[in-house]
């Protein structure tokens, strides 16, 4: 990736950047940061994955897409590089000691396309979410003003390691020498007793100390208060502790804020976004923060795609995110709704079944689209295994392999029973539901 960037003239170094990694909430934090920067009058280039309904969601100008001419110009430049400069540099690309061979990967080329779009559009700041991990991620050619790491969970174990501390070490790879790190609260129900929040926190403390990187830990620096969750979003108050981040805020007074996404976690996500921005750009004030958060809309983050019956989609695909999603859903609509669930084969379906099953009266298991390898039969077995107790509930879980048919059955059951529907487990499943409800492609 370093060589690809070099061949393109290092577009990633042209303007300041903010880099975001983590297991949960990194997309929301990335979107919020970009939206606030846009409200402040800047031109932020935003890089996120995956997309839900439109591929351009991955590479955008704040809350909107780039002009078509930008994608075309950047795509033309990328093609020229791939067809001429990259083949000419293959002797430098290929290292027999490394796995992967000499061909650039899809995500490496996509990352370079983002940097090129930002340059062609004359953006003045880059807001970049990692694809997976951090240390070896294609985006890690950045030298950001500030790095942000959200909640860590056990994920992508085939690439990042089999323990949460191993995953944390990979995420910590985005910390840069002398540059601040804004770190989310760590800990969760899915963590084992021998790998608690302190062990993960120590990973980040050690990494930050080695890089002489100031560590700004959310629980020590800020607090979310007066939280009100409703179907339209989340109202909350953000208070900074110990006089942190007073510049540009009304005498350090608490901020009364709103994000158009329901969920208690959104308050902390917004807090991380504000802390990162006040670290990178201290002059950003209350008005931009407030308007930016209010204008932030990211698909498949507890998004309502139908009103009758209420149909909510969320990309939750880890045990912690699934638990928080179910908690928010039930706080708004009560227990006993309908769950439409599908996840990729590498996800911890058994742990998600444990946290989701008690809250729903009927569950449809299906294929989460075709982009990633999945095994809906195994997911179905994971859910029914949890039910194999005193009350097995034979009819509670249904396997419908064809995604469109599963969506149709879940919505029809919701209409008949007057029950709300939650689609979760995968962004790709969320995309299928969104399209079925007329919100996507």
Q: Is beta strand 303-307 parallel, antiparallel or unpaired with respect to 255-259?
A: unpaired
CB-count burial class (<10 Å; 0-12, 13-18, 19+) for 286: middle
Residue 204 · residue 182 · CB < 8 Å: no
Q: What is the pLDDT of residue 85?
A: 85
Q: What is the pLDDT of residue 160?
A: 76
Residue 257 · residue 270 · CB < 8 Å: yes
pLDDT in tens, 326-339: 999 999 999 999 99
Q: What mean pLDDT is predicted for residues 340-352?
A: 92
pLDDT band at 267, cuts 50/70/90?
very high
Q: At residue 183, what are phi and psi to the nearest 5 degrees?
A: -120, 135
Q: How far apart are CA 418 and CA 336, in angstroms?
A: 11
Of 13-17, 99-103, 134-138, 182-186, give the lowest mean pLDDT range.
99-103
Of 340-354, 355-369, 393-407, give the lowest mean pLDDT range.
393-407
Task: Using the predicted structure, report yes or no on whether residue 388 has a pLDDT greater than 80.
Answer: no
Q: How far apart are CA 263 and CA 269, in angstroms?
A: 10
Q: What mean pLDDT is predicted for residues 222-236?
A: 95
Q: What is the pLDDT of residue 440?
A: 55
pLDDT band at 189, cuts 50/70/90?
very low
Q: How far apart are CA 29 and CA 34, in angstroms?
A: 9
- Averaged pLDDT score across all residues of the chain: 90
- Sequence-ordered alpha helix ranges (H) in 67-105: 68-80, 86-88, 90-93
Q: How far apart are CA 86 and CA 110, in angstroms?
A: 15
CA–CA distances in Å: residue 356 to residues 233, 300, 399, 415: 22, 18, 16, 21
User: Per-residue b/e over 361-396, b at no fewer than 16 CB within 10 Å?
Assistant: ebbbbbbbbeeeebebeebbbbbbebeeeeeeeeeb
Q: What is the CA radius of gyration of the chain?
A: 22
Q: What is the pLDDT of residue 161?
A: 74
pLDDT band at 369, cuts 50/70/90?
confident
Q: What mean pLDDT is predicted for residues 130-150?
A: 96
Q: Could you give the angle at the alpha carbon of 52 between the alpha carbons of 359 and 333, nearest 5°?
A: 25
Residue that is written with structure tokens 């698909």 in the block:
299
Q: At what angle do helices 286-295 and 26-39 cross, to 10 degrees?
A: 130
The rounded percent of the chain whose pLDDT value lies above 90 is: 76
Task: Using the predicted structure, report yes or no on whether residue 190 has a pLDDT greater than 50.
Answer: no
Query: Token digits for 183?
Result: 């770190």
CATH class of 2-295: alpha beta
Higher-confidence position of 249 and 149: 149
pLDDT band at 392, cuts 50/70/90?
very low
Residue-range domain boundaries for the chain? 2-295, 303-436
Q: How many CB atoms lie within 10 A of CB 88?
A: 10
pLDDT in tens, 300-310: 999 999 998 99
Let me know how long the chain is: 441
Q: What is the pLDDT of residue 59?
A: 98
Which CATH number describes the domain made up of 303-436? 3.90.190.20
Task: Using the predicted structure, report yes or no on whether residue 99 has a pLDDT greater than 60.
Answer: no
Q: What mean pLDDT is predicted for residues 392-407?
A: 86
Q: How far apart are CA 219 and CA 65, in angstroms?
A: 35
Task: Using the predicted structure, report yes or no on whether residue 191 has a pLDDT greater than 50.
Answer: no
Task: Using the predicted structure, report yes or no on whether residue 282 has a pLDDT greater than 80.
Answer: yes
Q: What is the pLDDT of residue 416?
A: 95
């Amino acid at each position: 990736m370093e060589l690809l960037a070099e061949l393109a003239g290092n577009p990633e170094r042209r303007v300041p950047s903010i880099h975001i990694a983590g297991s949960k909430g990194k997309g929301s934090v990335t979107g919020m940061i970009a939206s606030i920067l846009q409200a402040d009058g800047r031109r932020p280039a935003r890089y996120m994955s995956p997309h839900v309904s439109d591929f351009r969601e991955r590479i955008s100008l704040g809350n909107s897409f780039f002009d078509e001419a930008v994608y075309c110009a950047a795509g033309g430049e990328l093609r020229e590089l791939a067809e001429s400069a990259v083949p000419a540099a293959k002797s430098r690309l290929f290292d027999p000691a490394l796995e992967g061979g000499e061909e650039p990967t899809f995500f490496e080329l996509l990352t370079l396309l983002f940097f090129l779009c930002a340059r062609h559009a004359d953006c003045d700041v880059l807001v970049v979410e990692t694809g997976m991990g951090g240390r070896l991620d294609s985006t890690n050619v950045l030298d950001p003003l500030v790095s942000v790491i959200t909640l860590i969970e056990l994920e992508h174990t085939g690439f990042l390691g089999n323990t949460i501390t191993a995953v944390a070490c990979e995420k910590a790879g985005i910390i840069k020498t002398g540059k601040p790190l804004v770190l989310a609260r760590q800990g969760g129900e899915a963590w084992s007793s021998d790998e608690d929040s302190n062990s993960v926190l120590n990973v980040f403390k050690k990494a930050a100390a080695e890089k002489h990187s100031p560590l700004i830990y959310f629980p020590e620096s800020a607090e979310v208060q007066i939280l009100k969750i409703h179907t339209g979003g989340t109202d909350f108050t953000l208070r900074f502790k110990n006089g942190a981040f007073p510049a540009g805020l009304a005498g350090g007074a608490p901020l009364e804020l709103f994000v158009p996404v329901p969920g208690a976690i959104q308050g902390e996500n917004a807090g991380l976004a504000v802390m990162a921005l006040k670290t990178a750009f201290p002059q950003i004030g209350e008005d931009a923060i407030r308007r930016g958060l209010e204008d932030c809309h990211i698909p498949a983050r507890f998004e309502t795609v139908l009103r009758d019956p209420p149909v909510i989609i969320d990309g939750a695909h880890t045990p912690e995110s699934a638990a928080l999603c179910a908690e928010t859903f039930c706080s708004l609509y009560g227990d006993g709704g309908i769950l439409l669930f599908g996840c990729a084969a590498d996800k911890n379906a058994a742990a998600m079944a444990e946290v989701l099953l008690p809250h729903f009266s009927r569950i449809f298991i299906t294929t989460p689209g075709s982009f990633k390898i999945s095994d809906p039969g195994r997911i179905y077995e994971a859910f029914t295994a949890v039910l194999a107790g005193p009350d097995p509930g034979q009819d509670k879980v249904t396997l419908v392999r064809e995604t469109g048919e599963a969506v149709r059955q879940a919505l029809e059951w919701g209409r008949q029973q007057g029950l709300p529907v939650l689609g979760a487990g995968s962004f790709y499943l969320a995309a299928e539901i969104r399209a079925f409800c007329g919100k996507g492609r």
